[in-house]
A and B are shown apart, each in its own frame.
Chain A
Amino acid sequence: MTALTDLTIVEARAGLTAGEFSARELTQAYIDAMTAARGLNAYIAETPDHALAQADAADQAIRAGTAGPLAGIPLGIKDLFCTEGVHSQASSKMLDGFKPAYESTVTSNLWRDGAVMLGKLSMDEFAMGSSNETSYAGAVINPWRAQGSDQNLVPGGSSGGSSAAVAAHIAAGATGTDTGGSIRQPAAFTGTVGIKPTYGRCSRWGIISYASSLDQAGPIARTVRDAALMLGSMAGYDPKDSTSINRPVPNYRAALTGDIRGLKVGIPKEYRPDTLPPEIQKLWDQGVAWLKDGGAEIREVSLPHTQYALATYYIVAPAEASSNLARYDGVRYGLRVNGSNLNDMYAKSRGAGFGGEVKRRILIGTYVLSAGYYDAYYLKAQKVRSLIARDFATAFQDVDVLLTPTAPSAAFAVGETTDPISMYLNDVFTVPASLAGLPAMSVPTGLSSTGLPLGLQLIGRVFDEETVLNVGSVIERAAKFTARPTSWWRA
């Protein structure tokens, strides 16, 4: 018999509806798996009692015939989401002890639809990182290891707890957030599916802010169908977020027809740097072949400002971060370190509360916004951002969706990448779509020569998550990605 934790969300929902098992049994199976996987360090706070209470409520709703689309499905929630009365610290010491008195809109939507919270998932501190090594709780370990190796690898970041938990089957699905690739790159590193919807599709209310013009929530799941189901619950207009988009959420699962005949798929030539590893190029070519087989028409397109996306991002995101993180003052919540006067208390609290990468980004952001430098850096970056967005708009006059690699490598070792710029290069293929606010998804498509997962990215038009998901489902079916890590971590 298949373990309950090996069922996809769609399969688990069917089993619950048919009465094959209860939400309590399913949740208990996940709690046991979560407890046995503490070596991965994916959860920063476990909430088993909370989960069982929600599971019992789901069982009642299922019996009463009032169950929502996610009733009884155990999920992990990234620590960036405020969850009422529960650890919400963005994996930072700065938010020491913070337990919000309110619930984020996205998580409220999930509970409305019956989902169960297993706990909070670790992440790079304040979502700043691409390896989940900047969490104050220490690195999260990727369930995947290279063939014949017992070296610990990173699960990607910043949603690394989310990707690790989904890959290790210690959550049926997880919430993530993506500012420059923080859903898609971890998904690629762990053989999972991750979609960042159009900016404004999911409410940012109650999500701890990093870079507000880029931050967007989305799911990490094991299949495209599961991701579609979760996104349908997470998305929706919210008057509490002024950038939330007031338009109906489509039925994402209904969009998964598998029919891509006549669809025009763009291959951006600028996503093929000389340094692209041959095995990633090969995987990309394979993806093109699969879509051709499905009846799509392939066209080369040009996004000429791609090479400037990372530099643009590393001005815009730190600038917004320096402003957003000004709220951590040791007065209203989180860590406070006493000082000789008010300014000294601020500086000491922030000096002790923030980790190295967060400090670096706040300082860069402060610098590029400071008097005399604003035009040269920030304004310039926002102009280049316009050009990057325009490149995409032009390409989408000719094609319906773009296919690219998700990341320039497979997962790397914990402690291997120490230089900030080298770390930033992980996001070279994901940052452009973030700057333009476009929906984009990573789908697992194969294994590297060392047996590690690799993913391909689909980028769609504004609001067109449906095409992204549908094309993703075609790639998923063709790739038949069924590989799983061995459960070496089980206690």
Chain B
Amino acid sequence: MSIDLSTVRRIANLARIEVAEEELPPLATELNKILAFVEQLEAVNTDDVQPLTSVVDAQLPQRVDEVTDGGYPDRVLANAPHAEHGFFTVPKVIE
């Protein structure tokens, strides 16, 4: 499998990373090299093998569903590039 420029453009859009047109060809070359490298896994027989879901045999713990944290919007917003009236702010999303 080899990815072309339009595929790089598509995944960059999916990943929400702006990539300039002139950066697309070298990026496609690098990504194809990496994909060619990982495609060696096709040689491994994985019939009847379950995918690994946890490296350590452990049950995920459960706890009572209750609020244990929060109530400090100032601290939550302290690192926001833009915040107003106790909210994060973003560019207008409705026309």
Contact = CB atoms under 8 A, between A and B. Distances in A.
A367 B6 CA distance: 13
B49 to A, nearest CB: 4
Contact of B33 (A100, A198, A420): A420
Interface of B is mostly: loop
Contact of B35 (A97, A343, A364): A364
A341 to B, nearest CB: 6
A311 B38 contact: yes
A335 B56 contact: no
A415 B90 CA distance: 39
A489 B30 CA distance: 36
A364 B31 contact: yes
Interface in A76-110: 97-101
B91 interface: yes
11 contacts: A98-B79, A101-B78, A311-B38, A311-B39, A332-B80, A351-B19, A359-B27, A363-B12, A367-B3, A435-B52, A437-B55
Interface stretch (A41-49, A114-122, A373-381): A373-381
Interface string A367-401: 10010000011011111111101000000000000
A383 B53 CA distance: 9
B15 to A, nearest CB: 4
A277 interface: no
B40 A311 contact: yes
Contacts of A387: 44, 46, 49
Interface of A is mostly: helix
Given A242-B60, A370-B11, A383 B51 contact: yes
Contacts of A198: 56
B67 interface: no
A436 B76 CA distance: 36
Nearest to B18: A351
A212 B84 CA distance: 33
Given A199-B55, A335-B81, A345-B90, 17 more contacts: A97-B79, A99-B78, A213-B54, A311-B40, A331-B88, A341-B92, A342-B93, A350-B18, A351-B17, A359-B19, A364-B35, A382-B51, A384-B49, A386-B49, A420-B33, A437-B55, A462-B56
A119 B82 CA distance: 28
A420 B34 CA distance: 8
A60 to B, nearest CB: 29
A137 B50 CA distance: 42
Given A311-B41, A436-B55, A333 B80 contact: yes
A468 interface: no
Interface in B51-95: 51-58, 60-61, 63, 72, 75-76, 78-82, 88, 90-93
State the 6 A-B residue pairs at the shortest beta-carbon distance, nearest first.
A437-B55, A351-B18, A382-B51, A336-B81, A333-B79, A383-B46
B52 A385 contact: yes
Given A341-B91, A386-B50, A381 B41 contact: yes
B33 A366 contact: no
Contacts, number: 169
B34 A342 contact: no
A360 interface: yes
Interface residues of A, number: 74
A308 B41 contact: yes
Contact of A362 (B15, B79, B88): B15
A104 B46 CA distance: 39
A366 to B, nearest CB: 4
Interface of A: 97-101, 198-200, 213, 239, 242-243, 245-246, 305, 308, 310-312, 314-315, 322, 326, 329-336, 338-348, 350-352, 354, 359-360, 362-364, 366-367, 370, 376-377, 379-387, 389, 419-421, 424, 435-437, 462
A385 B38 CA distance: 13
Contact of B55 (A100, A383, A389, A421): A389
Interface of B: 1, 3, 7-8, 11-19, 27, 30-31, 33-35, 37-42, 44, 46, 49-58, 60-61, 63, 72, 75-76, 78-82, 88, 90-93
Contacts of B63: 239
A421 B78 contact: no
A218 to B, nearest CB: 15
B79 A99 contact: yes
Given A311-B41, A383-B50, A421-B34, A366 B15 contact: yes
A384 to B, nearest CB: 5
B17 A363 contact: yes
Contacts of B52: 382-383, 385-386, 389, 435
Among B34, B37, B72, chain A packs the most CB atoms within 10 A around the CB of B34
Contacts of B93: 341-342
B27 A363 contact: yes
A200 B15 contact: no
Contacts of A308: 40-41, 44
B31 A363 contact: yes
A332 B51 contact: no
A384 B61 CA distance: 27
Nearest to A100: B79
A97 B51 CA distance: 39
Contacts of A310: 37
